Structure 1
Amino acid sequence: MTNTSTAERSRTKQLEVLTDAQHQQLHRLVAEGNPFATRENFAIWVCVQYQFQQKIADLYRNPTLKSLLPDLEDRSRLPAAAADLKDLGQEVPQADVMNADDLTTAQVLGWLFVSEGSTLGAAVLRKKASESLGLSDEFGARHLAASPEGRARHWKAFTALVNELPMSEEEERQLGEAAQAAFTCFAVELRNAYGISA
């Protein structure tokens, strides 16, 4: 196994550096879309969240990762996003679904790195949804709720997996490219949903 302290300096930190520009772009897109202006605008955001979570739903069932992180499948926010859409009077949209069998474990981790990482920033979004729109963990904003063990511990368990899993140089490359692809995918869906020009 890779030394955890070394891996933390190299793998997850390098992923954060690698995707930082895309992460910042997403912050700008969210601000431009202004999902907290009205419930209708927020519903568009939830649709994007649902479509992204639907796209990667199968990745949460990766057998290799599930054996190392038993709660992996339960981490999917797809059911919560579907319930939020129902609360907001929206139909559940369809989305392309990725097949986990078509990806390496490293690629799956890259996509999940972006999805799992977004749960940290969701704390700020949850507060805005509550203060601006009157939504909560029980109505309309379930997909932004913290896990029972808390956001930090939830994220730490996932990053420990990313850091400790042995990878070749090729797998490291796949991990990074998959994380970038996930950010690009979410940004495109957000632009399309809110009609934001490139």
Structure 2
Amino acid sequence: MNAIVGQPVGDIPRLEEIRQSTRSAHQSVDNMVMAMAPFDNRANYARFLGLQYIFHARMKPLYDAKDLNATIPGLAKRSRFDAVCRDMDDLETEHPKDRSRLAVPQVGAERIGWLYVCEGSSLGAAFLLKAAANIGLNDGFGARHLAGHADGRGKHWREFVEQLNGLTLDDDEEAAVRKGAVDGFAFFRNLVSSSQPA
């Protein structure tokens, strides 16, 4: 993978291709999360936070990967795993065990698709942060991982989009990125499903 700023994919930017190929998967995850009613009470939120902990723990090695940081400068600083851990400490919530059998890839272009899923969730967290206020949580207590970047949520996302669209990939890598994004949503959907009360 090489970085060339502004490199398009076919007639549309890479991000738009990923968005189109994951639209239904993304909507499915959104619907499942909201069905959990995570902001109705702190018990529901704690369950939601547990899912976030597992997901971001699995994503942390991707954010720390040297080759990805060389391709996407500043990637390591984007991880929200530490913020999730602090949220759990705020609420005195135990760290859940990761029982998922779905693996997060540690090499290859699929990782870019997984990063798209994770970074996109940060953009959409603005609505969730507002909802968290209903149960007394904010970006300084209990909902730190939902906070926007100091430079602005939109600016931070646009920088990632430019980096993602700027990657030069061959056809196999393009397909791997799309597959990674689909798998990323499937992983989180599986977490939600497995967390449902018996």
Fold shared by both chains (TM-score > 0.5): yes
1:110-189 maps to which residues of 2 (within 5 A)? Answer: 110-130=113-133, 132-189=134-191
How has the CA–CA distance of structure 1 residues 158 and 194 changed in structure 2, closer, same or farther, with 3 Å as cutoff? same
Question: Which structure shows the bigger proportion of residues in helix conformation?
Answer: 1
Moved more, 165-174 or 26-35: 26-35
Would the aligned equivalents of 1:58 and 1:98 in 2 still touch at CA under 8 Å? no
User: What CA deviation, in whole Å up to 9, does each residue of 1:17-39 have, x standing for no partner?
Assistant: 10000111112101211101100
User: What CA deviation, in whole Å up to 9, does each residue of 1:40-68 have, x standing for no partner?
Assistant: 10011111001000011100012222124
- Give the Cα separation in 1 of the matches to 2:90 and 2:186: 28
1:17-96 maps to which residues of 2 (within 5 A)? Answer: 17-95=20-98
User: What CA deviation, in whole Å up to 9, does each residue of 1:86-138 have, x standing for no partner?
Assistant: 111211223369676x420x2111110000011111000000001x1110111
- Give the Cα separation in 2 of the matches to 1:2 and 1:89: 45
Q: Matched residue pairs, number?
A: 193
User: What CA deviation, in whole Å up to 9, does each residue of 1:123-179 have, x standing for no partner?
Assistant: 00000001x111011110001000111111111111111111110000000000010
Deviation at 1:69, TM superposition (A): 3.3
How has the CA–CA distance of structure 1 residues 70 and 94 changed in structure 2, closer, same or farther, with 3 Å as cutoff? farther
SS at match of 2:168: coil
- Give the Cα separation in 1 of the matches to 2:27 and 2:104: 28
- Give the Cα separation in 2 of the matches to 1:127 and 1:118: 15
Equivalent pairs: percent with the same residue?
Answer: 33
- Give the Cα separation in 1 of the matches to 2:155 and 2:107: 27
Would the aligned equivalents of 2:62 and 2:68 in 1 still touch at CA under 8 Å? no
Alignment gaps of 5+ in structure 1: none
SS at match of 2:84: helix
- Give the Cα separation in 2 of the matches to 1:17 and 1:41: 31
What's the TM-score once normalised by structure 1's chain length? 0.90
What's the TM-score once normalised by structure 2's chain length? 0.90
Deviation at 1:191, TM superposition (A): 1.6
Kindly report structure 1 stretches of 4+ aligned residues shifted beyond 4 Å: 96-100
Q: C-alpha root-mean-square deviation of aligned residues, in Å?
A: 2.1
Alignment gaps of 5+ in structure 2: none
SS at match of 1:94: coil
Q: What is the match of residue 103 of structure 1?
A: 107
Moved more, 8-17 or 158-167: 8-17
Letter in 1 for 2:32: L
Moved more, 177-186 or 71-80: 71-80
